Amino acid sequence: MIADAGRELRAFCEPGRPLLVEQCVELLPRILGRRTGDERGKHRQRKGHPLQSYSAHRERQPYRSVADACAGETGCAGALAGIRREAPVSGPSTALGFPARVKYLTAVLLLASSAAAPAAAAPALELRAGDRICLVGNTFAERFQLFGYFESGLLAAFPDLELSVRNLAWSADETALRPRPLDFGAVDRHLEAQGADVVLLFYGANESFAGDEGLPAFRNDLGRLLRHVSKQLYNGAEPARIALVSPIPQQALPSGHGLDAAAVERRNVDLRTYAEAAEAVATENGVPFLGIFDGVAAALAGEPAPLTVNGVHLNEAGYWHASRVLLEALGAAAPGTVVASAEGGAGLEIRPPVLPPGPDGNPGRLRISVRDLAPGYYALRRGDQTLASASDGDWAKGLEVQETSAITALRETGDGLRRVVLHKSRLFFDRYRAVNGYYIYGGRKEPFGVHSFPPEMVRFDELVGELDDEAAALARSDEVWRLERVDR
């Protein structure tokens, strides 16, 4: 049993690196067959309103030390030694985003290392009906909400799932460093408040500035984070389904703007190295990995105009391309694309998606590809109206549907969907990152005088939920078209 505990602890942290007490509370009872006071085997009950969870920290009864936790276990004291308790940390949340002022332990593991079993390939991320998808991570993730292409594209690609998205990312976040205002609440607490079913994690770009020397710490911190998040029951019922998104490359701008080409090339070597390290850690932990580095690099190289504002942060057109690449990594067709299989038949019904706008607001277009048609000539019809016609070979290659009233209607709906998504994202940001947070979760969180803030926060949540419903309704197209064999 002690050998098993040692292996699990060794996998959880590198020798000599800080180990949070809260992490020990989670880990040690599980590996030593004990339970903490909050009954880990039971599903957590969701709070009635997320406002309370923003300002409250979960109370746990920490083990006094790893040695105390091992008391009574033969040989444990010899296997785990060098335990020390450090002074409380004041200020913002750190490491995995646990509340501020937590205590640290440093555990020096004296167990001999053993060969790790080969890691199985990471599974694909499963999306289910009604999923709440939360984004956490760095500036790249945070800025998705400014343009709405990813969320509107996601809803359009999976209209029957009625998904909803919450962007909890924070500029400059790293796997082991998440500074927040005092009493803002840990990332875990906000994920729980949102009832996250799926968590997309964006890390590696900021950490890559440490170069090769920072890789061991990055691998360790990232692995620890993935294991932690994948065990949490943010929705109160089951562990979160998670996926790790790779960093993206930096863009070389015209001379005189940003870093020179040689410096950008060096940065991209580091970024790719960290992307590959992230993929390896994800695979080791059985976490789906969404590798978008190469796809975004191709977009940066293929567009004559810059896709970034400074070489690092994408502009609107850049986020259109990044959203397309990320959606494809999630298994969705590219925006405005239908890919179907007739499986040897002579036709099929097609439900066209709404058309989000293209990059820089250009009109969205619809391209349909149908494989496995029986040999012949086929027409795409909307009632009595013929929208396109071609041979089975041309349909397999893909055809762009020409301008018609049907395309115009799909485009107008797509524009409306993105506008609703942008409105919802703005409202949620104002609620999640309120400028006057001191009155919501800080020193004046307890109402006095006119009790206005609690009901206002409730109304924010209601408005965001109503916009979720409106976006889901817009994403569902009522159009049904028919592809059928015709004479030439």
**Residues lower than pLDDT 50 in the chain:** 1-119
The β-bridge relationship of strands 377-382 and 481-486 is antiparallel
In whole angstroms, how far apart are CA 341 and each of 159, 161, 347, 397?
A: 19, 21, 9, 12
pLDDT at position 478 is 83
Domain 132-335 fold is Rossmann fold (3.40.50)
pLDDT at position 56 is 33
Q: Would you kindly state where each structural domain of the chain is located, as residue ranges?
A: 2-109, 132-335, 337-488
Mean pLDDT of the chain: 79
Cβ-based burial of 161 (10 A; exposed 0-12, middle 13-18, buried ≥19): middle
Other Cβ atoms less than 10 A from the Cβ of 65: the count is 18
Q: Which residues contact 51 (CB under 8 A, 6 or more apart)?
A: 440, 454, 457, 458
Q: Which residues contact 298 (CB under 8 A, 6 or more apart)?
A: none
Binning the chain into helix, strand and coil, the percentages to the nearest 5 are: 40, 15, 45
Let me know: does 387 contact 381? Beta carbons within 8 Å: yes
In the numeric block, the tokens 């619809």 are attached to 366
Let me know: does 98 contact 20? Beta carbons within 8 Å: yes
